[in-house]
Amino acid sequence: MRLSHFVLLSGSISASLPGVLGWGAAGHEIVATIAQIHLHPSVYPALCDILNYTSPDPRAPPCRLAPIAAWADRLRYKMRWSSPLHYVGAVDDYPSQTCEFPGSGGWAGERRRNVLGAVRNVTDILEDYADGGGSVGYATANEAAKFLVHFMGDLHMPLHLTGRDRGGNDDKVRFGGRITNLHALWDGLLIAKAIRETPSNYSVPLASPQIEWVLRGAIYDSYVRRIMWEGVLDQWKDEIPSWVACPAPARAYGGGGLWQTVMRVFGRDVAGETDDEVLCPYHWAAPIHALNCEIVWPKALDEPPYKNTSRIGEYAPRGGPYLELDTPEYAGVIKERLIVEKLLAQAGIRLAAVLNWLFAETDGLNVVEI
C-alpha cells in the first residue's frame, strides 16, 4: 500500500473554517507539528511507546513530535558519525549557475551516507521494529524515530541538498542590515521573519478540533495555523496526494530517457539507491534542490561587487560589501509564493505519511479526513 493511502487529507474541514482570519529548531518543530496534525489516531500507542513520552496534559496529544524534532542537531557534535547524514552534495553542483542532482561526478562522500540514504535507513529500521521480529531493539527504534523526524525536515531545506560552499555557510549576505550567511538565512531568519509577520487573526483558534488539539501548548501556533489555512487547506489542497506519491520502479528507473542516461553515466541507478514505490527521498528532493538555481542562490553573489573577481569562486574580502536579501525581489518573492511554508508543509505531510504507513492499524484505512 502506498503512502498516499496514509495521509490525513484536510479538505473536508475547509468549509467550516472562518473566512477572516537543514531548518533551525523552529523549522524542525513546525514540520513535526504539521506532521502530528496528520497522524492517524491508531499511530499514537506505538509512537508514544518508542519515544517513551506521555503528555502531562490529558487534553493534549499523548506524545509530541516537536520536542524531539531538533534532537539530532543538539547531539550532532557528540555523534560526529551522523554529521554527513543531514545533507547531500553533488560534486558538480554549483548554483545558481548549474544545479546537478547529481552530475557526472556523482555524490560527495560515501554511497548512501547522506540525508537521502539516512531517510531510507531509519525508515527501514522502524519498519523492522514495527514488524515485531525482534531484530531491532527499543533503543535503536527510539533513535531511528528521532532521526526520521529530523532528517525529513533536513530533506526539505534546499541548501541541505547542495554541496556548494558548505550549503551556503561560506557566503556572507545581509538580511535587514544584519550580516549573516546564506545558509543561516534559510535555516532560521526567513522563518523568524514569517512568524513575526503572521497576521494577528491567526492567534484565533481554527474551527478544527484536530488542528487545535495538536496545537494545544505548542509554540509557533499562529504560523502553523496560517500554513494550514492558506496552504494545506487552500492553495495546495489538490496537490497533496502527489506530494507523497512515488513513481513505480519500472517507470522511474527504466525504459530509457533520462534514467537510462543516468544509469549509463554512473554505472548505477542513483534514485534506486534509496527509492522504491512507497518511499522515495530522491524523487521528493530533486525539485527542492532545483529551487537553489531558481531562487535560493542569488545570481548576484557570482557577480561584482559581491564576487572577488581576482580568483574564480572567491567572494568579497572581509568587510563586504554584502548583498542585501531582505528585498522585494528576494524575500518578497519567497513570501508571496509561500515557498518556505510549502517546504515545511511538504516535510510535515510526508513525515506523517511515513509514520502512518509504519504504525497505523490498516484495516479498512484509505484516506482519513480530519
Residue 250 has pLDDT above 60, yes or no: no
Q: For position 21, what pLDDT does the model report?
A: 26
Overall average pLDDT of the 324-345 stretch: 98
Overall average pLDDT of the 141-169 stretch: 95
Residue 260 has pLDDT above 70, yes or no: no
Residue 73 has pLDDT above 90, yes or no: no
Domain coordinates in residue numbering, the chain? 3-359
Overall average pLDDT of the 236-261 stretch: 68
Rounded to whole angstroms, how far apart are CA atoms 180 and 115?
A: 25
Q: For position 231, what pLDDT does the model report?
A: 97
Q: For position 308, what pLDDT does the model report?
A: 57
Q: What is the pLDDT of residues 202-243, one digit of tens each?
A: 999 999 999 999 998 777 999 999 999 999 999 999 999 999
* Range in 82-86, 90-94, 276-280 the model is least confident about: 82-86
Residue 351 has pLDDT above 90, yes or no: yes
Residue 314 has pLDDT above 60, yes or no: no
Higher local confidence (pLDDT), 3 or 238: 238
Q: For position 310, what pLDDT does the model report?
A: 31
Residue 10 has pLDDT above 70, yes or no: no
Rounded to whole angstroms, how far apart are CA atoms 265 and 90?
A: 14
CB 182 within 8 A of CB 297: yes
Q: For position 313, what pLDDT does the model report?
A: 44
pLDDT interval class at 1 (50, 70, 90): low
- E strand or H helix at 262, and its extent? helix 257-266
Residues annotated catalytic, as ranges: 23, 28, 73-74, 86, 150, 154, 160, 183, 187
pLDDT interval class at 319 (50, 70, 90): low
Overall average pLDDT of the 93-119 stretch: 90
Overall average pLDDT of the 18-27 stretch: 63
Phi and psi angles of residue 161, each rounded to the nearest 5 degrees, phi first = -110, 10
Overall average pLDDT of the 141-154 stretch: 96
Residue 119 has pLDDT above 60, yes or no: yes
Instruction: Take residue 229 and report the three cell numbers written for it.
Output: 489555512
Q: For position 77, what pLDDT does the model report?
A: 65
Residue 366 has pLDDT above 70, yes or no: no
Domain 3-359, CATH class in plain words:
mainly alpha
Overall average pLDDT of the 304-333 stretch: 74
pTM over 0.75: yes
Instruction: From residue 231, give the alpha-carbon distance in Å to each of 68, 338, 345.
Output: 25, 8, 8
List own/partner pairs for 49-53 with CB under 8 A and 24 or more apart: 50/126, 50/129, 50/138, 50/141, 50/142, 50/145, 51/142, 51/145, 51/146, 52/142
Cis peptide upstream of residue 305 (ω within 30 degrees of 0) = yes
